[in-house]
Amino acid sequence: MSDLQEADLDRYVLRLATNFTARRNQPAAYAGIGRKPVYGEKVRPLPRSHKGKQIDVTQPDRIETWMEDGVSMRAEIRENLVLPGVIPGSKAKTFTVYAIYDPAYTTPWLLATPLKLKAETVRAMYRDRWPVEQIPLAAKQLVGAHRQFVHADESIQRLPELALLAGSFLSYLAAAAPLAPIGYWDLQPKRTPGRFRRMLMGKPFPQSYPLPSQLRKKASVTGHLPKGILAHRCKMADSAPPLAF
Instruction: Give the integer Cα–Cα distance in Å for 42 and 78.
Output: 12
pLDDT of residue 17: 92
Segments of the chain with pLDDT less than 70: 216-218, 232-245
- Model confidence over 187-236: pLDDT tens digits? 888 888 888 888 888 777 777 777 777 776 667 777 788 877 777 665 55
Domain residue limits, the chain: 2-117, 128-204
Residue type, 94: T
pLDDT of residue 245: 47
Distance of CA 147 to the CA centre of its chain: 18
pLDDT of residue 13: 92
pLDDT of residue 14: 92
Identify how many contiguous H helices and E strands the chain contains and give both numbers. 5, 9
pLDDT of residue 121: 93
- The answer to whether residues 110 and 46 touch, using CB atoms and an 8 Å cutoff, is yes
The pLDDT mean for the chain works out to: 85
pLDDT of residue 83: 93
Instruction: Give the integer Cα–Cα distance in Å for 129 and 141.
Output: 18
Q: What pairs with residue 95 in β-bridges?
A: 81
pLDDT of residue 130: 75
**% of residues, the chain, pLDDT over 90:** 30
pLDDT of residue 89: 87
